[in-house]
């Protein structure tokens, strides 16, 4: 009986997980953690600063404090905790932008329709918003900004983990295909002495790539090139990186991207797929939840197992495939061209 009750309570907390996610979203959106960086404050003070109702804000923060997101003292003041510090803007490992992205309608409403995706295998995002998510974010600038900021907020830790796990210093030229705003290439440039880097992505992405400070850091050894990886990719690279690119596409489309990389790679070149990998069995994994997001957001995109990555690379004429773990949910799948 006791074990049944414990299981029921665990299921209750899991089923109500969306309540917690939305509460974190509101705290992140209001910038509560930033307001507490200089010390504990009452809800009245926080409500004045955020133009919210003090009583309602207290109820929100009390609920979060019960899960160690913030803490309330005996005087009714709230302060930061290690978890709450993750919601501070600009802090190492900050997830504020990611938490905001998760609470916006572009993320939340497709989850409301996840049953449609499970029944049909089709993306709920397209059904809810009438177009694929890449097109939607390109056409809706504010939503696109929040999406890009959310994705970028996770990049710092991921990039540090990648740099720690893989030695780029011995390569002359690294080409990041679909590399977004260039945060990984900037990290590679800063971690190496002579390595040149090429950032390759769609024209609108390249136009909004690194800001002036980032450009100053990397411009001497980094080139920005616009194009579409379904048409062609730049030649001349010793290493080709596809970070969280392949998981957006079905196998046919992924093979087209890989074939374009293979076509321009030298026989001594290296291809790095940097992706979340689904572990076998029943082991808990954040990547398995990410795979559900791919189900509702993309047409055919998915997180793959190691065996699926190996099969995909072999079909694209790559060999000597090895998997390198990192201190993040991402792994590096390294392969060389089949000769």
Note if 247 is an active site residue.
Answer: yes
**CA atoms in the 13 A half-sphere facing the CB of 249:** 18
Residue 220, both tokens: 């001497």
**What is the residue-wise DSSP string for 80-103?**
--HHHHTTSTT-TT--HHHHHHHH
Do residues 247 and 276 touch, judged by C-beta distance below 8 A?
A: yes
Query: Distance between CA atoms of 251 and 285, rounded to whole angstroms?
Result: 23
Query: Distance between CA atoms of 96 and 332, rounded to whole angstroms?
Result: 26
Residue 100, both tokens: 């905001």
Out of 107, 133, 157, 247, pick the active-site residue: 247
Nearest to 219 by CA among 178, 186, 181: 186
Q: Where are the beta strands (DSSP E) in 46-133?
A: 71-72, 77-79
Beta-bridge partners for 198: 175, 223
Q: Which residues contact 181 (CB under 8 A, 6 or more apart)?
A: 148, 152, 205, 208, 209, 210, 214
Nearest to 173 by CA among 140, 198, 150, 148: 198
Catalytic center residues: 247
């Amino acid at each position: 009986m006791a074990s049944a009750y414990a299981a029921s309570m665990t299921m209750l907390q899991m089923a109500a997980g969306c309540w917690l996610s939305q509460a974190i979203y509101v705290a992140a959106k209001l910038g509560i953690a930033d307001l507490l960086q200089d010390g504990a404050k009452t809800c009245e003070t926080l409500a004045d600063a955020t133009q919210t109702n003090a009583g309602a804000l207290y109820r929100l923060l009390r609920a979060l404090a019960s899960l160690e997101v913030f803490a309330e003292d005996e005087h009714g003041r709230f302060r930061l905790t290690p978890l709450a510090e993750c919601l501070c803007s600009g802090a190492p490992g900050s997830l504020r932008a990611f938490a905001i992205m998760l609470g916006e309608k572009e993320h939340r409403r497709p989850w409301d329709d996840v049953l449609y995706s499970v029944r049909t295998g089709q993306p709920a995002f397209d059904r809810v918003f009438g177009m694929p998510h890449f097109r939607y974010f390109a056409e809706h600038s504010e939503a696109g900004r929040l999406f890009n900021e959310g994705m970028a907020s996770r990049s710092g830790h991921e990039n540090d983990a990648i740099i720690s796990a893989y030695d780029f210093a011995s390569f002359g030229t690294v080409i990041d295909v679909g590399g977004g705003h260039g945060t990984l290439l900037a990290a590679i440039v800063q971690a190496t002495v002579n390595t040149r880097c090429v950032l390759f992505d769609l024209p609108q992405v390249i136009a909004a790539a690194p800001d002036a400070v980032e450009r100053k850091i990397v411009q001497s050894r980094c080139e920005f090139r616009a194009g579409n990886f379904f048409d062609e990719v730049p030649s001349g690279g010793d290493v080709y990186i596809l970070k969280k690119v392949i998981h957006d596409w079905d196998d046919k489309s992924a093979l087209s991207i890989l074939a374009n990389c293979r076509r321009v790679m030298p026989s001594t070149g290296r291809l790095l797929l940097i992706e979340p990998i689904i572990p076998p069995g029943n082991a808990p994994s954040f990547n398995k939840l990410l795979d559900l997001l791919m189900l509702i957001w993309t047409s055919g995109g998915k997180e793959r197992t190691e065996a699926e990555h190996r099969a995909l690379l072999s079909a694209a004429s790559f060999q000597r495939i090895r998997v390198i773990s990192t201190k993040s949910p991402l792994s590096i799948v390294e392969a060389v061209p089949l000769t």
